[in-house]
Amino acid sequence: GENVEQHPSTLSVQEGDSAVIKCTYSDSASNYFPWYKQELGKRPQLIIDIRSNVGEKKDQRIAVTLNKTAKHFSLHITETQPEDSAVYFCAALGSSNTGKLIFGQGTTLQVKP
């Protein structure tokens, strides 16, 4: 069935360092890959997304890369700040054309000041 694996489950970095979170997906027909940030006690918020017709997308300090052949996509955060601390979820849109997002297990990012 459809599956998204996310690693690592926890990530601790020093302020100013970069953070990378990786995901793999199983359904080769998936064509949309969003990333969500969830702060403690808050809702998941869409921070960046990428569609299968591009390999990379950047928005200020965050970037996402997609390797369709390997079915990998990654989130890169540069110059991390304490307010980047949160749980990050990757997701892939399932191929059933129903709008079903398959989420990864989440990565808890801690940025130490």
Residue 109 binds another protein (CB under 8 A) = no
Cβ neighbour number for residue 70 with a 10 Å cutoff: 8
- What burial class does residue 103 get, using C-beta atoms within 10 Å of its C-beta: 0-12 exposed, 13-18 middle, 19+ buried? middle
Q: Which residues contact 41 (CB under 8 A, 6 or more apart)?
A: none
Nearer to another protein, 52 or 78 (CB): 52
Which of residues 99 and 113 has its CB atom nearest to another protein in the complex? 99
Find the binding residues for another protein in span 37-66 (CB under 8 A): 38, 42-46, 49
Q: Which residues bind another protein (CB under 8 A)?
A: 32, 34, 36, 38, 42-46, 49, 87, 89, 93, 97-101, 103, 105-106
